[in-house]
Structure 1
Amino acid sequence: MKITKIFTFDSSHMLDGHDGKCQNLHGHTYKLEITVSDGLIQGGAKDGMVMDFTDLKAIVKQQIIDPFDHAFIYDGSNERESRIAALLEEWNMKTLRLQRRTTAENMTVEIYGRLQNAGINVCSVKLWETPTSCAEYEGENE
């Protein structure tokens, strides 16, 4: 059985060295779809649920929305992006350092890992950068 919950957050990023417009600092209103799979809970207040949507929302808020929303998300291994982040941090602006380039594809892997580490039996993560463009990650075995 699977359940899916949808979230949104706003962030900025850049893809230093990209051969198109995304090399520039820009932002997105991301739409995030989290799908969780498991058997149905048997008995108790949550009988018949894979997971309570309220519980999923609280974990996603803490692990993903709070750190990502309205942050400059940057590749910590990229010198230019790190310099921009350092300047923003001097001005007490929110940043989020990732260990990889901030493509939609890489961000889905990051989000998947964070949720897995939080104990969620995440099945897939789908991240929409625009209304017509998304990346989806279903784990390493998919």
Structure 2
Amino acid sequence: MTMETVGRPAEFLLVEDNPGDVRLTQEALYESKVRNNLNIVGDGQEALAFLRREGKYADAPRPDVILLDLNLPKKDGREVLAEIKADPSLKRIPVVVITSSEAEQDIIKSYDLHVNCYVSKPMDLDQFVRVVQSIETFWLTIVKLPSEVDD
């Protein structure tokens, strides 16, 4: 399944506490060629509530791709990633870590937790936009994703 064949906007979940990075991601996805909806949460606890459709997120859409920062308040991205990949109903959703950390231990730990992709945030604004658009193109038009079977 690719988003081109589904006929609905792609659903992204951005888990990011930095307002500047949220704004840049919004702009990058807005300018893209793929129709999409960007859902945003600011910490790890909210991310898990969104994914599990708890509380105010009872009607939340299932994301096609999760963009996850590692350094988050309340519950950090490593814990969120571990919980997503341990949950049979969530583990097939692609998770892209997009973070400022270039630490080797963060990269290794993320892949040990079954992240689908690890990207360091570029410092240059134009580069950041290109990176987000590349992630979108790759995961939504090139990659074949499984249908929602566990939902």
Give the TM-score normalised by the residue count of structure 2. Answer: 0.28
Report the structure, 1 or 2, having the larger helix content.
Answer: 2
- Report the structure, 1 or 2, having the larger strand content: 1
Q: TM-score, normalised by structure 1?
A: 0.29
